[in-house]
Amino acid sequence: MEKKLVIAMVGLPASGKSTVASKLKQCLEGEGLRVSIFNNGDVRREMCRAFDSSRADFYAPGNAEGVALRNEIARINLERAARFLSDGADIAILDATNVSDRRRQVIKDFFPDLPIFFVECVNSWPELVAASISRKIQLPEFAHLSPAQAAKSFQERIHHYESIYDPLVDEKNFVVLDTLHNTIVREQSQAVLPYYPIVRDLLVSDWIRNLYLVRHGETIYNLEMRIGGDSDLTVRGLVQAQALAWHFADIPLPYVFVSAKKRTLQMTESLLHDRPDCRVVVLPEFDEINAGVCENMTYDQIARDMPQVHAERTRDKYNAVYPDGEGYVTLKDRVERGIKKALFLSGNAEHIMIIGHQAVNRMILSHFLFRRTEDVPYIHIPQDRYFHITSTQSRKVFELVKFNG
């Protein structure tokens, strides 16, 4: 007997629904299943003029004309999903807000004989919502508006959906997913759903197709053996930056994430040539370890003037914390928060790059590749190579690649 499943996304605009839907599709197709995403927004863009669908009042619950048109869009999308499943396919993913009980009842009435799994995406980080909005307003439907006007319109659209939002409570089969942390907040399962084990595992797993983890090039402080600070790249560091750009010339990079330190930003300058669509996103979570009172000191100075600090780091480098600063043990949480933000903001892009620092990159590597904590501070992080990381359900890749320079 054929096993078919309808996965219905639920959540406000900019909550990460489409990213989760795309991740589910890619992995389930890797299992040999026929899967397709049916996005209400795609149908809306087929049917509506950009001017109409970019207006916030188009989504107002009191706009009878807008409600009727959006109901028709939903009906067309449901019919397309039904045809797909009746043609021998396995899973249809309905990518729409579906925030009201009424809309979810329409879905259940449309598929009375098929199991339906609701996946509600929530995102409570205002900065990530803002970043998601800035990505959404790049769509052609907002081209006639200024960035500020488009962002304002999209925020108002979110408020309209908030006014009719009914969180998942009574559905037979659902999960509520924190899309930043990939954690399930609530769930309920009253039936044996097809493909449920793999779907649930996917929802809580990082999904990386190609992450390029780069350390900034040589800096003045590197030559002077100083720690921390905000040093510039040396001439050799700039050569390494150019070599990195040449190495990645034929690889699309829609997102490059960097720290707030200028040496990582300088590393992107050559990389950005002829990449008008590449977005550089500064995440302070990827700043180098804060050495506190030891900032800007050389290792020899620390050993001579602060022997206790030197001895503690020699004895247990992972758990040692710089006075008024950080250690690897305290760095872990903020770096993992940065990883989650980068993955959320990149929207499941096929290629992304992080340009970080020695200690930070060690922590990023340890997130994806198990290392004993006592060994993490000694992972080799060269300045003329990068780590290529793939982490999906079916493929794990960790390779160190030289780009010269």
Confidence of residue 168 (pLDDT cuts 50, 70, 90): very high
The amino acid occupying position 308 is: Q
| The pLDDT value given to residue 1 | 43
Task: Show Cβ contacts of residue 37 under 8 Å, excluding neighbours closer than 6 positions.
Answer: 18, 21, 22, 25, 93, 95
How does pLDDT run across 180-205, given as a tens digit for each residue? 888 999 999 887 899 999 999 999 98
Residue among 3, 62, 55 at smallest CA distance from 28:
3
Over residues 88-115, the mean pLDDT reads 97
- The rounded distance, in Å, linking the Cα atoms of 308 and 33 is 60
How does pLDDT run across 41-95, given as a tens digit for each residue? 999 988 887 657 788 999 999 999 999 999 999 999 999 999 999 999 999 999 9
Over residues 101-119, the mean pLDDT reads 97
What tokens does 140 get? 């052609």
| The pLDDT value given to residue 181 | 85
Confidence of residue 140 (pLDDT cuts 50, 70, 90): confident
Secondary structure E strands in 64-125: 91-95, 116-122
| The pLDDT value given to residue 375 | 95
| The pLDDT value given to residue 282 | 95
How does pLDDT run across 120-135, given as a tens digit for each residue? 999 878 877 887 888 7
How does pLDDT run across 228-237, given as a tens digit for each residue? 999 999 999 9
- The rounded distance, in Å, linking the Cα atoms of 78 and 74 is 6
- The rounded distance, in Å, linking the Cα atoms of 295 and 265 is 20
| The pLDDT value given to residue 95 | 97
Over residues 161-186, the mean pLDDT reads 94
How does pLDDT run across 358-379, given as a tens digit for each residue? 999 999 999 988 889 999 999 9
The residues that bridge with 141 in the sheet, in sequence order, are none
Over residues 102-117, the mean pLDDT reads 96
Q: Record the pTM.
A: 0.86
| The pLDDT value given to residue 405 | 62
Residue 330 or 370, more confident: 330
Give the three-class secondary structure for 38: strand
Residue among 396, 403, 352, 400 at smallest CA distance from 380:
400
Task: Show Cβ contacts of residue 133 under 8 Å, excluding neighbours closer than 6 positions.
Answer: 14, 151, 154, 155
Over residues 212-227, the mean pLDDT reads 97
Residue 276 or 84, more confident: 84
Residue 30 and residue 393 in contact, taking contact as beta carbons nearer than 8 Å: yes
| The pLDDT value given to residue 369 | 86
Residue 83 and residue 77 in contact, taking contact as beta carbons nearer than 8 Å: no
- Domains for the chain: give ranges and CATH numbers: 5-203 (3.40.50.300), 208-402 (3.40.50.1240)
pLDDT at 221 over 90: yes
| The pLDDT value given to residue 54 | 81
